[in-house]
Structure 1
Amino acid sequence: MSEEKKIVKGPIGEVKKKIKELDSVDYQALIKAEKSGQNRKTLIKWLDSQKESKVEEKPKKTTKKKIKKIKPVEKIKYHDRKKLSNKEKRIFRLRTKEKNAIPQFIRQEYTKLKRLKDVWRKPKGEDSKQAEDKRGKPKRPKIGYKKSRETRGFHPSGYIPSLVHNTAEIENIDPLKEAIIIAGSVGRKKRNEIIKTANKNRITILNPRKGEL
């Protein structure tokens, strides 16, 4: 008995299962084997349809994956803290002292209700003890907590930060007192240009990205 006759032998459902499991099928040979044997019209019709569908199937086009070009990253030369003078050291000591003096502004019922977040909200109740500044209740933001004028506007590095969007904005910066923060909207190409001019003018950059140091 030939292989085709062995495949075609048995109930139609089992024959279909056998054929589907095979990797390569010669449908014309199977049709001949079925015609010479039991000659079941339903099976012959199914084999014909499978044969036609196989012919119609076209090989899928292989799409080449686009390789992303790695853009060059300019290295930052100046990112250190500022060497503070005696006057600046005194200002920073005063700054930390003022910072520690400011209390933590906690919203009403924060310590009692778990669902409340650690963010300030003004108490609005008519009988709120916190709104009336009762003793033992959390403090509220008000006039008097602001830092002194000489300690304001400093970055923890010791420089006065200034936001930069292009190379033209770097020209007016004093590298001894000021440092730059490159805006987040600036792309890689323009960012490289800003870093180049900053390195040339010995200006500190306060927000380096991955691979720039």
Structure 2
Amino acid sequence: MTELTSETERLMKVRARQKKKKPEFNRCDSHKKKKLSPSWRRPRGLHNKLRRHIAAKGKVVKAGFGSPRDVKGYHPCGMREVLVKNPDDLLEAEGCAVRIAGTVGMKKRDEIEARAREMNLKVLNPTSGGD
């Protein structure tokens, strides 16, 4: 496994602190209508209170809520996350944490996990009966 530099470790702590303070960004009125999913959509209506930044109506997504650029996309364990669909993808995952795609079958999944163990890579979603 790779060791974290002190700067990366500091930024991971900053990110964790920021994520605790970050509000939930839900789509406007998604709690009122069943057909609206809570996933964020920009409010566009002329009289929309959220678009007009009325404080009681919630927060609007802005650039300042993001993670520090150097640790963006990192897993909480401090490693960059790579999606793997076949055993050959592990060659590009050197020093990264590996997440096996959900569409991968059991036979290929076992092969990927065995190869990752040989290469000393961390598998984020191993099979339950694994090591």
Normalization by structure 1: what TM-score? 0.51
Contact preservation (8 Å) 1:182, 1:191:
yes
Alpha-carbon deviation of 1:193? 1.7
In structure 2, the partner of 1:100 is 20
2:1 paired with 1:86: no
Aligned residues: 130
In structure 2, the partner of 1:150 is 70
In structure 1, the partner of 2:99 is 181
Q: Mind listing any 5+ residue stretches in structure 1 that lack a counterpart?
A: 1-80
Contact preservation (8 Å) 1:82, 1:157:
no
Contact preservation (8 Å) 2:9, 2:78:
no
Contact preservation (8 Å) 1:94, 1:151:
no
Contact preservation (8 Å) 2:84, 2:90:
yes
Match of 1:201 among 94, 98, 119: 119
What SS does the corresponding residue of 2:82 show, helix, strand or coil? strand
Coordinate RMSD, CA, aligned: 2.8
Look at both structures and tell me which one has the larger radius of gyration over its CA atoms: 1
1:126 and 1:115 mapped to 2: Cα distance?
Answer: 23
What SS does the corresponding residue of 2:64 show, helix, strand or coil? coil
In structure 2, the partner of 1:159 is 79
Alpha-carbon deviation of 1:157? 2.1
Q: AA paired with 1:129?
A: K
Query: For residues 146 and 165 of structure 1, do their structure 2 counterparts lie closer, same or farther at Cα, with a shift above 3 Å needed?
Result: same
Query: For residues 171 and 127 of structure 1, do their structure 2 counterparts lie closer, same or farther at Cα, with a shift above 3 Å needed?
Result: closer
Q: AA paired with 2:60?
A: R
Percent identical pairs in the alignment equals 32
2:128 paired with 1:210: yes
Match of 2:49 among 126, 129, 137: 129
Alpha-carbon deviation of 1:126? 2.1
Alpha-carbon deviation of 1:116? 7.8
Query: For residues 188 and 108 of structure 1, do their structure 2 counterparts lie closer, same or farther at Cα, with a shift above 3 Å needed?
Result: closer
Alpha-carbon deviation of 1:83? 6.2
Q: AA paired with 1:206?
A: L
Paired residues for 1:14-93 under 5 Å? 84-93=4-13
- Between stretches 155-164 and 136-145, larger displacement belongs to 136-145
Q: Mind listing any 5+ residue stretches in structure 2 that lack a counterpart?
A: none
Q: AA paired with 1:185?
A: T
